[in-house]
Structure 1
Amino acid sequence: MEFRQELETGLLKPIGNTESTLKIKEVASKCRLLRTENGLKVDLTYTGPNASKYLQYVEKHREELTNYLLHPDDADLYEWMETSHQTPITLKKHEKEKLILYVNFDPDTMRLMTGIADENITMKLGTPLMDINLKEMTRNQFKLAIYDMLLLADEISIAMNNVELKKMANIEMVKTYLAEIYDRFHEGPLE
């Protein structure tokens, strides 16, 4: 956020867009699906501050919100698509690419990040699948994070119709490799 100092008062006033961008999860939590004679309708139940912004979001993203509310287990996929600025159409463009799951681990900071990359280990599609700090996780939390990440990768591969990525999302080696990193570098008690 940028600020401008007013000459008369010396106060700093924010300039530019001061509203935070709405996320699909936040908007969906204030909506419900209603069954009408024409099908399903997204109904915004929120009347608080910035209600007009929520309404604009609903109007612009009605189809995504409907799918999100119909399939709450796909929430991670919709959130990932939103943060990586992908749509079902842009994902389909990667159908024939040879894509892999990319793992980057820094033993100094204990940060582990996974994403989708091409054969040259060039990160694709912008947003990581998983970005965690091993120091802050128990073994069970870590196993759940791997599971969620592989589910997300699988959902992305299905949306892309990418056979290579689908193979990687189901591979046992990924889970084994990540578990070895946890065992080798985590100093806390293992659960």
Structure 2
Amino acid sequence: MEFRQELETGLLKQIGNIENELKIKDVASKCRLLKTENGLKVELSYTGPNASKYLQYVEKHREELTNYLLHPDDADLYEWMETSHQTSLTLKKHEKEKLILYVNFDPETMNVLTGIADENVTMKLGAPLMNICIKDMSRKAFKLSIFEMLLLADEIALAMGNEELRKMANIEMVKTYLSEIYDKFHEGPIID
């Protein structure tokens, strides 16, 4: 951990580690895949500020970056895995667990939070699947958010090999329940 003393106040301020701030999407946008005799290779084509940190990130996360660049449609899954500190191996450990999709709505803030939980409704796996405020959203944007959340849940269930969670991600009940929340609590005109 590094600290820097601020000139005006004399206080010590922690200097953040840029590697922790880097996201797979940002790094991948500065990389490309090259075909070599030994297969595919991730090449970093970035030479700007903190290039060495980007290079370290590429070295540490080469496999994830390769998969990300090969399957750009799976971007949400890789970002969720990064945020929740999961890997393919850690997800596999949840294959036999009884997991459910969890929905929490706060009528005061109009925030909808969804995630993966166990039977005791204890949030599992770190990061939420969706965390949105429906106050200023159109019905169409909300429906798209639900669809993207269910796709992400399905991808996570597939990565785990968890059939029960996969069934949960496909059920009509989640979509109906969330739509009812929107219709009941959305104060503005319901724009489709």
Q: How does 1:171-182 map to 2 (within 5 A)?
A: 171-182=171-182
Per the TM alignment, residue 183 of structure 1 is displaced from its structure 2 partner at its CA by 0.6
Partner-residue secondary structure (3-state), 1:136? coil
Q: TM-score, normalised by structure 2?
A: 0.93
Q: How does 1:131-142 map to 2 (within 5 A)?
A: 131-142=131-142
What is aligned with 2:158? Answer: 158
> In the alignment, residue 50 of structure 1 is paired with which amino acid?
N
Partner-residue secondary structure (3-state), 2:183? helix
Q: Does the alignment pair 1:14 with 2:13?
A: yes
Q: Does the alignment pair 1:35 with 2:68?
A: no
Per the TM alignment, residue 163 of structure 1 is displaced from its structure 2 partner at its CA by 1.0
Q: How does 1:93-112 map to 2 (within 5 A)?
A: 93-112=93-112
> Per the alignment, do residues 33 and 16 of structure 1 end up closer, same or farther by CA in structure 2, a change over 3 Å counting?
same
Give the Cα separation in 1 of the matches to 2:84 and 2:126.
5
Query: What's the CA shift string for 1:119-172, capped at 9, x where partnerless?
Result: 111111111000000012111110110000000000000011011100100001
Check conservation: 1:30, 1:46, Cα contact below 8 A: yes
Runs of 4+ in 1 over 4 A off after TM superposition: 1-6, 8-13
Check conservation: 2:4, 2:15, Cα contact below 8 A: no
> In the alignment, residue 56 of structure 2 is paired with which amino acid?
Q
Give the Cα separation in 1 of the matches to 2:126 and 2:70.
27
Per the TM alignment, residue 37 of structure 1 is displaced from its structure 2 partner at its CA by 1.7
Check conservation: 1:101, 1:117, Cα contact below 8 A: yes
> In the alignment, residue 110 of structure 1 is paired with which amino acid?
M
TM-align CA RMSD: 2.0
Q: What count of residue pairs does the alignment treat as equivalent? A: 190
Partner-residue secondary structure (3-state), 1:135? coil
Q: TM-score, normalised by structure 1?
A: 0.93
